[in-house]
C-alpha cells in the first residue's frame, strides 16, 4: 500500500469530493455526512499544516484552510433543506475545490520535485499519524464530552480560534466563557 504523502493527501481530496456529491444530491443522512466531512477536513488540514506545510511555503494555503473552516462551521450550524444550508454548501464547495486544485497543481508537484521518495514516505507516515490523532480526538475517548461535542459548544458560544484548539484548550475556553 502506498504511503507517500502525495498519494495520501490526494486520496483524501477524492473522498471529500464524494461527500460533496452526496450533499449536493441530498443522498442519505445529511447531518451525518456533514459530521463526516467536518471531521475529515479538520483532521486533513491539521495534518497538512503540522506535518507537511512546515517544509514548504504554504502561507496562502493556511489562509484558505481558515476560510474553509469558517464555512464548515456555518454548514454544521445550518439545517439541511434550508436555503442557508444550500448557499453555505455551495460556498464551501467552491472554496475547497479551489484550494484542492492549487494544492494538486502547485504545492504537491513542487514538494514532489524537492523531496526524495524516502522523504515522501516519511512525510506520509507523519501525515497519517497526525490525521489519525485528530480524528480520534474529534471522536472522543469515552470520558466526558468528546472533542466534537466540545467543538459544538464552542461554536454556540462563538469562541474565536476554536477550530485550531485541542480538546483541553476547548474545555478551558468553554470554562472561561461560562465564568
Ligand atoms: Fe489537502
Ligand atoms: Fe490543504
- At 80-138, the pLDDT tens digits run 999 999 999 999 999 999 999 999 999 999 999 999 999 999 999 999 999 999 999 88
Output the average pLDDT for the chain: 92
Nearest Cα neighbor of 60 from 26, 87, 117, 98 is 98
Q: Do 96 and 164 sit in the same domain of this protein?
A: no
The 8-class DSSP code of residue 79 comes to P
Q: Do 97 and 153 sit in the same domain of this protein?
A: no
For residue 178, is pLDDT > 80? Answer: no
CA of 108 to the centre of ligand 2 (A): 10
For residues 92 and 71, is the Cβ–Cβ distance under 8 A? Answer: yes
Q: Do 93 and 11 sit in the same domain of this protein?
A: yes
Q: Do 155 and 109 sit in the same domain of this protein?
A: no
d(CA 56, CA 9): 15
For residues 12 and 127, is the Cβ–Cβ distance under 8 A? Answer: no
Q: How many domains does the chain have?
A: 2
CA of 123 to the centre of ligand 1 (A): 14
Q: Do 103 and 175 sit in the same domain of this protein?
A: no
Q: Do 152 and 80 sit in the same domain of this protein?
A: no
Q: Do 172 and 120 sit in the same domain of this protein?
A: no
d(CA 137, CA 142): 10
CA distances from 10 to 4, 53, 104 (A): 10, 15, 8
The pLDDT, as a whole number, for residue 128 is 97
CA of 20 to the centre of ligand 2 (A): 16
For residue 143, is pLDDT > 60? Answer: no
Total length of the chain: 179
For residue 142, is pLDDT > 70? Answer: no
CA of 44 to the centre of ligand 1 (A): 6
Q: How confident is the model at residue 169 (pLDDT cuts 50, 70, 90)?
A: confident
Contacts of 123 (CB under 8 A, 6+ apart): 4, 5, 51, 52, 55, 115
% pLDDT > 70, the chain: 96
Give residue 157's domain range: 143-179
CA of 168 to the centre of ligand 1 (A): 26
CA of 106 to the centre of ligand 2 (A): 12
- pLDDT, mean of residues 69-86: 96
Cell of 118: 524516502
Global pTM value? 0.80
Amino acid at each position: 500500500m502506498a504511503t507517500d504523502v502525495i498519494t495520501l493527501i490526494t486520496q483524501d481530496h477524492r473522498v471529500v469530493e464524494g461527500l460533496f456529491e452526496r450533499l449536493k444530491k441530498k443522498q442519505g443522512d445529511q447531518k451525518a455526512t456533514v459530521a463526516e466531512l467536518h471531521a475529515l477536513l479538520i483532521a486533513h488540514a491539521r495534518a497538512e499544516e503540522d506535518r507537511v506545510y512546515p517544509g514548504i511555503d504554504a502561507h496562502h494555503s493556511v489562509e484558505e484552510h481558515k476560510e474553509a473552516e469558517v464555512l464548515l462551521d456555518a454548514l454544521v450550524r445550518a439545517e439541511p433543506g434550508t436555503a442557508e444550508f444550500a448557499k453555505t454548501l455551495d460556498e464551501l464547495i467552491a472554496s475547497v475545490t479551489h484550494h484542492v486544485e492549487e494544492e494538486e497543481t502547485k504545492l504537491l508537484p513542487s514538494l514532489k520535485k524537492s523531496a526524495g521518495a524516502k522523504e515522501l514516505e516519511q512525510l506520509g507516515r507523519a501525515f497519517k499519524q497526525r490525521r489519525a490523532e485528530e480524528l480520534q480526538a474529534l471522536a472522543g475517548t469515552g470520558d466526558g464530552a468528546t472533542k466534537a461535542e466540545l467543538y459544538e459548544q464552542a461554536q454556540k458560544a462563538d469562541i474565536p480560534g476554536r477550530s485550531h484548539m485541542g480538546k483541553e484548550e476547548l474545555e478551558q475556553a468553554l470554562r472561561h466563557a461560562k465564568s
